[in-house]
Structure 1
Amino acid sequence: MDKKLYDAYIKILEEELVPAMGCTEPIAIAYGAALARETLGEIPQKVIISASGNIIKNVKSVVVPNTGGLRGIPAAAAAGVVAGKAEKKLEVLADITPEEIEEISSYLEKADFEVKTVESGCVFDIIVELQSKEHRAAVRIQGHHTNVVHVEKDGKILVDKVYAEGQEGERTDRSLLCIEEIIRFADQVEIAQVEKVIQRQIDYNTAIAREGLSGKWGAGIGKILLMSYGNSVHNRAKAMAAAGSDARMNGCDMPVVINSGSGNQGMTASLPV
């Protein structure tokens, strides 16, 4: 396999198989809100979240992790504003304390939240605007969950990147991927070069799947599959993936290693194997 292509495939794996806590769309909103709050430099009185229809659909009913069971877009933004750590990106809510959970609930009641649809033609589009009495800050994320394309404060532009749908930005070119080369890479890869990232995927995704089977999360589909259809290999594979998804989508604070930006895809692609 061509070395340049081989190295690109290693890089793609490292870029794709990253940890995230909770459903990735509300986490992206929380990340944008945390970054906007850092830019603003204070807790705002008003929060405006503008998002594409696909984002709104994926966030509106999902439990935001580490919030005491809060759901939806305002909750995700409030968590990011009050307690998010933007430098942790998709683990932006990982370090929330019990005291901060109470602060998030209180802030949701006190602050003014507005949710709007943005019609940009971009499937993944989030704008978080924060307003205090004297200042304003805004952050825009497009294309994928951590791709910040615009940051501004009080009209001063701090970050401004042009994004086109399908553009990879600073990531490795995904058009290099094809079935033939993926198979060749899998046959030839030095395991030591991917062991760390693959082992993390195994450890994290197995742990949350086991939590989904042992705890009370969501509809308990994993448990139902095992009780209804037995302990065969193919049924255990389905049950593990379903259990991990139940836990993740219902507020479990354990991280998942994602695939193509999705935790559910990350578990579906790894746990059955």
Structure 2
Amino acid sequence: MSFTVKDILRLEVAPALGCTEPVAVALAAAAAASLLDDADVRRVDAVEVWTDPNVYKNGLAVSIPGAPDLKGLDTAAALGAFGGDPGLRLQVLGSIPEAARKAALAAKGAKKVSVHLLRERQGLFIRARVQAGDRAAEAEIEGLHDNITALRLDGTDLARHALLAPRAADGKSGVAALEEWLMARSLDEIIALTDDLDDDDLAFLMEGVKRNELLAAHGLKHGSGLGIGKALDRMARQGLMERDMILSARILTSAAADARMAGVNLPAMSSAGSGNHGLTAILPIRAVADHVHISERQMLEAVALSHMITAYVKAHTGRLSAVCGCSVAAGAGAAAGVAYLLGGDARHVSGAIKNLVADLAGVICDGAKAACALKLNTAAGSAVQSALFALQGVDVADTDGIIGCSSEQTMRNVGELSTQGMIETDRTILNIMIEKQLTAERGD
């Protein structure tokens, strides 16, 4: 099976409102609730959710669109069940009626919503169950944030339903088949795909740039979240830092992350299933474009390459892991895109990827939260710096650490580190976060 650049963009890039883990939980709850009659939804007795450790980890401390003053997967599940539109996929929380919002928060307050951790579950998995009297509906999401693989009503599997994800003849999802195909490609082959972009692809890529710029503008204007982007911008205005292309990339990317992690009701254009990946994959390239003389098409080709490299790395690491994908996967994508944007060839693009990995491979993922803006700030700066180094002939040697003899081998090594080497690290991170939450609830 072969894929085109249009296929890759269609499968890997999409608008997403809010952090994608709680949004995926909301989608599962909304899909389950949609199987019930409206009258049943209004008298819901219980909403239960089960998730894998990484979804659980990413939902502990991040604000939820529709209720930005609240956090948690229980909030997301309640909002999804009472007012989410599953047809909107990763924008499921984009149009919650006020009455539904109040009903959801009342149900949460009445302890009708519960979230359970499946500690031994590997890979992205969510099951939501909505109980209303003697009626019960379930939905399962597996592998990808919007990949609904099962729907049940009163214990009966619904084999045919518009919300169910399509599958190939061999049972694989489209993204699973794409990832298998991507891992067999060389960097030269991936770069060559940028030649096939048509006008519709370019328009879609520009939509992503504009969506993510809107988030950045909001973060810069309001100092949302931690206010990292606004603080950097202020320091540049005060002459404390030089507004070069590296700082411009850091400002734009972190300001967007500030807004998104604060629950601002603006969708991000995601990459490889993550809104923050999308911010990192797109905005450093957009910032650098303001400092050089290039065409809009050249910028968008660089963005397309960034998305493809991000997807390539995620195919090796998995959708969720102990390694910060915004830093390593989207950071590698952005580094590749910046090197390409500045006139680099495959050798420079490969060097940029290896430089980025050498710099950021050890950055952990400790859940989605306001402080993610700090990591996106670091990733954006390192992406531009890694590309500039590569263009100047600075290229980390394959004798160093986990760096391989090629960018392809380097990314395979990152995948091995993520999927095998950091399993216990991931468990430890989650244990620390859960204990911290329990301590806060006890008031210790």
Shared fold, TM over 0.5: yes
Structure 1 segment 1-273 matched on structure 2, within 5 A: 5=2, 8-41=4-37, 42-43=40-41, 44-119=44-119, 121-159=121-159, 169-171=173-175, 173-177=178-182, 178=185, 179-186=187-194, 188-228=195-235, 229-273=241-285
The structure-2 alpha-carbon separation of the partners of 1:33 and 1:20, relative to structure 1 and needing over 3 Å to count, comes to same
**Contact 2:49 2:115 (C-alpha < 8 Å) held by counterparts:** yes
Three-state SS of the structure 2 residue aligned to 1:271 is helix
With structure 2 as the length reference, what TM-score do the two structures score? 0.56
- After superposition, the Cα gap between the structure-2 partners of 1:196 and 1:120, relative to the gap in structure 1 and judged at 3 Å, is farther
The answer on whether the counterparts of 1:223 and 1:243 sit within 8 Å (CA) in structure 2 is yes
Q: Which has the larger radius of gyration?
A: 2
Cα deviation, 1:75-127, whole Å, max 9, x if unaligned, reads 00010011100111111111123443333322222351222112464321111
Q: Distance between the aligned counterparts of 2:128 and 2:105, measured in 1?
A: 19
Instruction: Evaluate the alpha carbon distance shift between residue 168 and residue 218 of structure 1 in structure 2; reply closer, same or farther with a 3 A threshold.
Output: farther
For 1:239 and 1:168, the matched residues in 2 are separated by 40
Specify whether residues 55 and 202 from structure 1 end up closer, same or farther in structure 2 by C-alpha distance, changes over 3 A only. same
The alignment partner of 1:40 has SS state of: coil
Change (3 A) 1:98 1:230: farther
Query: Is the CA contact 2:224–2:262 (under 8 Å) kept in the aligned structure 1?
Result: yes
Equivalent-residue separation in structure 1 for 2:131 and 2:104 (angstroms): 17
Normalised by the size of structure 1, how large is the TM-score? 0.90
Q: How many residues align?
A: 265
The structure showing larger relative contact order (alpha-carbon pairs under 8 Å, at least 6 residues apart) is 1
Using the alignment, how far apart are the partners of 2:64 and 2:190 within structure 1? 35
Name whichever structure is richer in helix by fraction. 2
* Farther-moved stretch of structure 1 (168-177 vs 108-117): 168-177
Change (3 A) 1:134 1:110: same
Contact persistence 1:67–1:104 (CA under 8 A): no
Displacement of 1:208 in angstroms is: 0.6
C-alpha displacement of 1:237: 0.5
Aligned partner letter, 1:199: M
8 Å contact kept, 1:16–1:261 = yes
Structure 1 portions without partners, runs of 5+: none
Instruction: Judge conservation of contact 1:122–1:143 (CA < 8 Å) in 2.
Output: no
Give the whole-Å Cα distance in 1 for the aligned partners of 2:210 and 2:172.
28
